[in-house]
Amino acid sequence: MLVIVAPGQGAQTPGFLTPWLEIPEFRDRISAWSEIVGLDLAAYGTTAGADEIRDTAVAQPLLVAAALASYEVLGVRPDVTAGHSVGEFAAAAIAGVLHPGDALALVRERGRAMADAAEVTATGMVAVLGGVEEDVLAAIDKHGLTPANVNGAGQIVAGGTLERLEAFSADRPDGVRLRTLQVAGAFHTAHMAPAVDRLREAVAAVAPGEPAVTLLSNADGATVAGGGEFLDRLVHQVANPVRWDCCMATMSELGVTTMIELLPGGTLTGLAKRALRGVRTVALKTPDDLDAAREVLK
């Protein structure tokens, strides 16, 4: 059983689109979707620096466009699909809930709305690696932070004000390592509440389809049977934690045997190698990985 997954914000790196634009189909898709989002995605994915693509309003459409374009050139239909954070929009398109153009238009509004929300208060996110999960969650709560991403495999991301993150860092639980994430704000926390209404208005203009493959939700890892329900969950998710651990638990329950992570791959397959032992994984990083992805399905 194959699951295809789409990564979230933070997976982008300078120049990651460069080799992919040599594929005509990929290049054409990026060009067309650039018109929809009002950004030169090819330039942002090739010549832009790390700070430029860190901008939430840029990173989100860039990531979803890259994931969907790599999915189209891969040419493989999954049994199950899921996305991490903004990657859920790519998963929605793969499942047929959203037309790719609608997915990109909604992500454009989501990215802008979240960027505006991030400017209200100085906030950030820190990955907490290792430690005892209960101790980590208790420490996050103690310092008034939110476990914005519970990713499984010993990784929880704390989000909140920079002041509270600094206090947490000085009073971290035993046995953990901290890594500051290169994001513009505390996504999937109450700090993103102003973005929820804007996305809800944008979603109201879209007529969703019904999922044609099994589609998992970040909220709780549940299989979502209705397109309308999934769009409601996408809106709600902006200001609420991502439970990728639950998504992986559902993958295990469904009997997933193979995971392909769309461009820019690596993060989610890395988690799967630790949490989904025995599942074959392929991350699409360069076009050379396309053959490896097709080969693993034989």
Parse the chain into domains and list their residue ranges: 2-119+189-295, 123-180
Tokens of 135: 């101790």
Q: Coil, helix or strand for 151?
A: strand
Residue 75 has pLDDT above 90, yes or no: yes
The CATH architecture annotation of domain 123-180 reads: 2-Layer Sandwich (3.30)
At residue 130 the predicted structure's pLDDT band, cuts being 50, 70 and 90, is very high
- Arithmetic mean of pLDDT, 102-115: 97
| Burial of 97 from C-beta contacts in 10 A (0-12 / 13-18 / 19+) | buried
pLDDT for the residue numbered 117: 96
pLDDT for the residue numbered 11: 93
At residue 182 the predicted structure's pLDDT band, cuts being 50, 70 and 90, is confident
275 vs 183, higher pLDDT: 275
Task: Name the pairing type of β-strands 80-83 and 2-6.
Answer: parallel
Q: Tokens 């699409």, residue? A: 284
Annotation: CATH topology of 2-119+189-295: Malonyl-Coenzyme A Acyl Carrier Protein; domain 2 (3.40.366)
d(CA 126, CA 190): 16
- Specify whether the CB–CB gap between 234 and 89 falls below 8 A: yes
What is the rounded average pLDDT for all residues in the chain? 96
Q: Coil, helix or strand for 286?
A: coil
Phi, psi (degrees; rounded to nearest 5) at 281:
-130, 145
- Specify whether the CB–CB gap between 262 and 16 falls below 8 A: no
At residue 298 the predicted structure's pLDDT band, cuts being 50, 70 and 90, is confident
Residue 183 has pLDDT above 90, yes or no: no
Percent pLDDT > 70 in the chain is: 100
For 193-234, write each residue's pLDDT tens digit.
Answer: 999 999 999 999 999 999 999 999 999 999 999 999 999 999
Give the type of residue at 38.
G
Q: Tokens 């200001």, residue? A: 239
For 33-43, write each residue's pLDDT tens digit.
Answer: 999 999 999 99
At residue 184 the predicted structure's pLDDT band, cuts being 50, 70 and 90, is confident
Active site residues: 85, 188
d(CA 181, CA 118): 14
d(CA 231, CA 236): 9
Q: Coil, helix or strand for 75?
A: coil
